[in-house]
Amino acid sequence: MDTIEISHAEAGDAERILYLQYAAYRTEAELYDDFRLPPLTQTLPELLAEFRTHTILVARRQGRIVGSVRARVDDGAAHIGRLAVDPAWHGQGIGRGLLRGIEQATAPVERYELFTGHRSDRNLRLYQRAGYHRIRMERRSATVSLVYLEKPGDAVHASAGPVR
């Protein structure tokens, strides 16, 4: 059985992360009939700039990046975003592992915050199973409303092992 290794990303990973992000968010774009979602319009220079302000993790299988996530800590909160898993690897626990990894990599914080689209049932289930609860909804366009969720910082335990 292949193992998935979660580690800190390096700037040299940026092109693969962006390619993966485009592939992963394409299904979201189809769900909302909106191909202007920010993860689909982000450029390589924009992503490279995030390496200075965000913690960015990748999931690797046999050396190949199959998932990524990032977070920035601001005012006691870790703002988690762009959780992306290669569509060929959905349902393998990679998203759950990345979520745990980014929580541990940004701890300790007062709370963790993230958002997803209101129709993204798979994402909502993942986040709720991980202990997140809904705090608000925001309409972003005629087709997209965002559901914001949070989790108390003290709910995260370092039991899943370190992120390299």
70-91 pLDDT per residue, tens: 999 999 999 999 999 999 999 9
Domain count within the chain: 1
Whether 83 is covered by a domain: the verdict is yes
Residue 118 domain flag: no
Q: Is the pLDDT of residue 164 over 80?
A: no
* Residue 76 near residue 109 (C-beta atoms within 8 A): yes
122 in a domain, yes or no? no
* pLDDT band at 157; cut points 50, 70, 90: low
What are the tens digits of pLDDT across the range 95-146?
Answer: 999 999 999 999 999 999 999 999 999 999 999 999 999 999 999 988 899 9
Q: Does residue 63 sit within a domain?
A: yes
Query: Does the residue 48 lie in any domain?
Result: yes
Structural domain contains residue 135: no
Q: What is the CATH number of the domain that holds 95?
A: 3.40.630.30
95 assigned to some structural domain? yes
Domain assignment present for residue 78? The answer is: yes
Q: Containing domain of residue 87, as a range? A: 4-110
User: Against a cut of 0.85, is the pTM above it?
Assistant: yes
